[in-house]
Amino acid sequence: MGKPSKPKNPIVTHIFTADPSAHVFEGKLYIYPSHDLDHDGPSNDNGDQYAMEDYHVLSMDDVNEECVDHGEALHLRDIPWASKQLWAPDAAYRNNVYYLYFPARDKEGIFRIGVATSTTPEGPFTPEENYIPGSFSIDPAVFVDEDDKAYVYFGGLWGGQLEKWQEGTFNSNAEGPKLTEPALGPRVAELSDDMLTFKSEPREISIVDESGNPILAGDEERRYFEGPWIHKYNDLYYLSYSTGTTHKIVYAVSKDPLGPFEFKGTILTPVIGWTTHHSIVQFKEKWYLFYHDCSFSDGVDHKRSVKYTELTYNDDGTIVTINPYED
């Protein structure tokens, strides 16, 4: 199997973009990233350096053609319930409507998940008056299955506050599990028919090893940290995510969108910069990994840029590991 080509430059360079969610809508690739801004704020484990205020929608007619910036699709000032930090978004299409899902801090500083709608994939998007009831944490990723059921996967540790919700309500003093205990998994909820609320309370996804044992919190090479993404290949559901502290994108598979998911391996080795966040999409019979790094900003962590590369599978369905800096 030949090595897939890897573009050496970001898909856009006039703004800094991160956390790309890529989808095929109306026959072209649409990318929904966050928008990094330059600022003088602190850099810490709480994520204060990521002070994003708006979203731009990008599109490409083909992966080898110029990427178009459709401009500002949604701004913080237009979201009644939000106070700051429009982090990693995602988009979905259903009911002849385009939905943009996004995390932001509410007026009390707690991360929630909001939704905005548009009649076109590039927006602009009109936000709902309030966040999704019962939502919390960050990194929403929406998957509409072949049976038309729609699910939202979400959650991130540290600045994403996932460990603060272990008892079902927000506890600012809560810490994560002990290193010898099962790691926290992402959350999943089925979406209502109108895509604006949860059909039921979010449940935790179990990620296990090849023997069926839960991945432990101390296993930083494999445990979930943030950035969930779901795609389907050969009737299997692939849950991919960031390991955070070890800076990898890894994946696990299941026959059920609700899991449990069995850990399989690494998709993307570490990039330049602390965070790593991705999406996987099929376009014109090939699969692509969209991700970000900080190479264009010379390693400045809160000024990231979206890139992509082809993603390939082995005959057994495992994913070929990608080194983003390998020629």
CA 251 – CA 1 distance, rounded (Å): 21
Catalytic residue among 53, 122, 163, 226: 226
76/292 Cα distance (integer angstroms): 22
- Cross-strand partners of 254: 237
State which H helix or E strand residue 80 sits in. Answer: none
Q: Cβ-count burial of 244 within 10 angstroms (0-12 exposed, 13-18 middle, 19+ buried)? A: buried
Catalytic residue among 19, 53, 262, 293: 19
Contacts of 27 (CB under 8 A, 6+ apart): none
Residue 114's H or E segment, with its range, is strand 111-118
- Burial of 150-162, coded b for 16+ CB within 10 Å and e otherwise, reads bbbbbbbbbbbbb
Which positions ≥6 away from 89 have C-beta within 8 Å?
A: 19, 21, 32, 33, 34, 55, 100, 101, 102, 103, 140
- Residues 262 and 211: their CA atoms lie apart, in Å, by 9
226 is catalytic: yes
Please state, in angstroms and rounded to a whole number, the distance separating the CA atoms of residues 319 and 11: 23
Report how far residue 236's alpha carbon sits from residue 249's, in angstroms, rounded to the nearest whole number: 18
Residue 129 among the catalytic residues = no
Residue-wise burial string across 163-176, b where 16 or more C-beta atoms lie within 10 A, e elsewhere: bbbeeeeeeeeeeb
Which residues are annotated as catalytic? 19, 226
